[in-house]
């Protein structure tokens, strides 16, 4: 399977140009699956501790507008996260989109609440459920940004046969190498391909986003990363490698 990860700028500055570049890359590379960053289609809301319903509604509208443009992506399966309202509360919803059908598959549970990342102030955590979702790429486990550090869930996804661990991120520059280490650990613990996409560049508030999307194999080896010069990368992987990895160390060791 041909898989693409990316880094995209904080909207709206330069976003349309970056989107056009992503579309061209996916079509040219004949990508079959793409992972988008965390809530990518609106400027990062959680930089302030003061949530506003009007801002949340605007972010939802921006995500609706780009979701309608997913057919531009050359038929690729799309993974990512977006703002939504579920059960009367604001949530960060992970999804899979395939063949024109959108499915919510997870609501982010582990929420930071600190300068620049006031996520617990902006929206509610989901249920503490980590269930691999069926997709054309096989079972997919979502670990949205902060969730990658709660490594017990990578083990849960391994037991569910996950072929991919997807980590859409909104993380900053100085911690970028630590995030890659977390993605490599998740791959090894799950015996799955670890994927991540992130925001990049500087936004209007001065945040320098980390970029550094990655594809990591089930043994923790880095197959590809994105950069400012190469914001989109596509790797062909054999999903059977993830199935085979489940029976090898350390995945077979019982809890």
Q: How many CB atoms lie within 10 A of CB 114?
A: 11
Helix (H) or strand (E) run with residue 22 in it: helix 15-29
Q: What is the pLDDT of residue 255?
A: 85
Q: 3-class SS at 50?
A: coil
pLDDT per position as a tens digit, 52-100: 999 999 999 999 999 999 999 999 999 999 999 999 999 999 999 999 9
Q: What is the pLDDT of residue 205?
A: 87
Q: Where are the domains of the chain?
A: 2-245
At a CB cut-off of 8 Å and minimum separation 6, what does 181 contact? none
- Note whether 211 and 5 are within 8 A (CB): no
Q: What is the pLDDT of residue 84?
A: 98
**pTM surpassing 0.95?**
yes
Q: Could you give the CA distance from residue 31 to residue 139 in angstroms, rounded to a whole number?
A: 18
Tens digit of pLDDT at every position of the chain (255 positions): 999 999 999 999 899 999 999 999 999 999 999 999 999 999 999 999 999 999 999 999 999 999 999 999 999 999 999 999 999 999 999 999 999 999 999 999 999 999 999 999 999 999 999 999 999 999 999 999 999 999 999 999 999 999 999 999 999 999 999 999 999 999 999 999 999 999 999 998 899 999 999 999 999 999 999 999 999 999 999 999 999 999 999 999 998
- Note whether 222 and 180 are within 8 A (CB): yes
Chain-centroid distance, C-alpha 6: 10
Q: What is the pLDDT of residue 207?
A: 93
Q: Could you give the CA distance from residue 30 to residue 28 in angstroms, rounded to a whole number?
A: 6
Class of domain 2-245: alpha beta
Q: What is the pLDDT of residue 73?
A: 97
Q: What is the pLDDT of residue 129?
A: 94
């Amino acid at each position: 399977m041909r898989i693409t990860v990316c880094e995209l700028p904080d909207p709206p500055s330069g976003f349309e140009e970056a989107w056009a570049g992503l579309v061209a890359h996916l079509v040219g590379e004949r990508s079959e699956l793409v992972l988008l960053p965390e809530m990518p289609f609106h400027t990062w809301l959680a930089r302030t501790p003061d949530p506003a319903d009007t801002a949340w509604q605007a972010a939802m509208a921006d995500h609706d507008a780009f979701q309608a443009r997913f057919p531009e992506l050359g038929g690729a399966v799309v993974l990512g996260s977006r703002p939504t309202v579920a059960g009367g509360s604001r949530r960060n919803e992970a999804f899979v989109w395939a063949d024109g059908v959108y499915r919510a598959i997870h609501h982010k549970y582990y929420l930071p609440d600190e300068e620049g990342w006031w996520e617990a102030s902006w929206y509610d955590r989901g249920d503490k459920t980590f269930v691999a979702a069926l997709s054309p790429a096989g079972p997919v486990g979502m670990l949205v940004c902060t969730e990658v550090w709660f490594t017990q869930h990578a083990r849960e996804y391994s037991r569910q046969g996950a072929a991919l661990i997807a980590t859409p991120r909104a993380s900053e520059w100085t911690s970028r190498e630590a995030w890659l280490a977390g993605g490599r650990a998740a791959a090894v613990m799950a015996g799955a391909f670890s994927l991540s996409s992130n925001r990049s560049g500087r936004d209007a508030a001065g945040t320098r986003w980390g970029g550094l999307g990655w594809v990591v194999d089930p043994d923790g080896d880095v197959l590809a990363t994105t950069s400012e010069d190469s914001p989109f990368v596509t790797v062909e992987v054999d999903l059977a490698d993830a199935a085979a990895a489940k029976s090898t160390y350390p995945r077979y060791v019982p809890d």
